[in-house]
Amino acid sequence: MSSEMNNPTNDAALRSFVPVSPESHFPIQNLPYGVFRCAHNERSRIGVAIGEFVLDVTALEDRGFFDQTVLGGRRVFDGSSLNAFLASGHTAWSEVRAVISRLLRDDEPRLRDDAGLRDSVLIPMGRVEMRMPVAIGDYTDFYSSREHATNVGTMFRGKDNALMPNYLWVPVGYHGRASSVVLSGTDLHRPVGQSSPDGNAAPPFGPSQAVDFELEMGFFVGPGSELGRPISIEEAREHIFGMVLVNDWSARDIQKWEYVPLGPFLGKNFGTSISPWVVSMEALEPFRCEGPVQEPGPLPYLSIQGNQAIDIGIEVSLRGEGSDGAEVICRSNFRHLYWSMAQQLAHHTVNGCDVRPGDLMASGTISGPTPDSYGSMLELSWGGQKPVTLPGGGERRFLEDGDRVTITGWCQGDGYRVGFGEVTGRILPARR
């Protein structure tokens, strides 16, 4: 593996000549990838975030900065998505990261001392517009938080039958919809649809009365696999490029009526928001930690040694229309997830299903063990029975028109943060 604990690009002592505050999500230890566009140049390009700047990686490739890596002269950043880079594999990921890390170091003069080069490849973040980082072919959503599954199961089936019998054996998931995955900042209209009728009456049809967020994270698949050839759990890490924050918006009333027997459909596919910066697994390596104990032990194809969880603190804040500020309504952590990303990918492909570069796999709602760590309004308000009191006044059962939901998250290092920025979006009134 290229990504080991002593990876020099992860050294906590590294500093960039680009100023980076301790609270910044984008120190030299992070180097997340995104796709951006400048007002003065219509062409989408690939960049890496560093402090308050974007490093233009497409321009670096144009200048041959990656010619000495395994890529040779092959162009992978000459596009409007990260897909070609994702397809190039973990050796390329690691070598490109090493080149960029060295170039940004405070003791490396090549870029630091070349004002002309700096001006052409370092762009203030305020001057760029972020774009979808990846052309997502397929989107799969898992259900990997035992706490979330237990809470939802308790609400729908009672405490004694909260977890389905398959839950501790199968990383449960379903196929979502890639076309409605949107970038942070995209506002969504309240969906309309059918909900559960009273008795034998016709189902009510209209704007959802139970629009919700789901606090999730997702990963992007790297090289991908061939139809019929599973990715083993040992191989899984080489197929996972990096992660983003995900808000998997949901309409609980539509979901509750439609989900039998085939599962989630229109209550889920009206929008899924992702953050613009993709944090590589290599940057997250120092923050790996033990996950929950898996008992019963998983079947052999899902068994793997070593730390599979990652310590990523995540917060959800809500800002109502006309409100003075956003209020934090949930604090959770990615490490709570019962099923790891490697287990998700191994399970997804064990039947021979192929995956492709840029496929998005989301975790499912990440709820922690305590009520303030529940990752959806459904759980925070316990099915709407216990309204959430907002710290600044007002209350919510589900989301109201004009509500803005913002999710942020980061790994806390010693004096620095490897962060994800944020994913934000607003619920607009239903279209008439």
The residues that are catalytic are 148
Residue closer to Ca ion (CB basis): 83 or 376: 376
What are 243's two structure tokens?
A: 């992660």
Strands 250-251 and 395-396: unpaired
What are 306's two structure tokens?
A: 């070593």
Per 3-state DSSP, the chain is made up of helix, strand and coil in percentages (nearest 5) of 25, 25, 50
Which amino acid is it at 294? Q
Angle at alpha carbon of residue 10, lines to 286 and 334, rounded to 5°: 35
Smallest separation, CB 110 to Ca ion (Å): 44
Residue closer to Ca ion (CB basis): 14 or 361: 361
Smallest separation, CB 324 to Ca ion (Å): 30
Residues for the chain: how many in total? 432
Smallest separation, CB 226 to Ca ion (Å): 28
Mind giving me the DSSP string for 229-281? -PPPTTTGGGGEEEEEEEE--EEHHHHHHH-TTT---TTTTT-EEE-S-BEEH
CA-closest candidate to residue 173, choices 424, 422, 355? 355
Residue closer to Ca ion (CB basis): 361 or 418: 361
Residue closer to Ca ion (CB basis): 61 or 214: 214
* Cα–Cα distance measured from residue 257 to residue 273, given in angstroms and rounded to the nearest whole number: 24
Four-point Cα dihedral 285, 290, 291, 292, nearest 10: 180
Residue closer to Ca ion (CB basis): 141 or 282: 141
Q: Which residue minimizes CB distance to Ca ion?
A: 248
Four-point Cα dihedral 380, 386, 390, 393, nearest 10: 170
Instruction: Please identify which residue in the block is written with the tokens 């189902």.
Output: 203
Site residues for Ca ion per CB under 5 A:
141, 214, 248
* Cα–Cα distance measured from residue 122 to residue 363, given in angstroms and rounded to the nearest whole number: 34
**CA distances to 29, 52, 97, 111, 292 from 19, in Å:** 13, 8, 19, 14, 38
Residue closer to Ca ion (CB basis): 141 or 379: 141
What are 326's two structure tokens?
A: 């956003």
CA-closest candidate to residue 420, choices 31, 12, 9, 1? 31
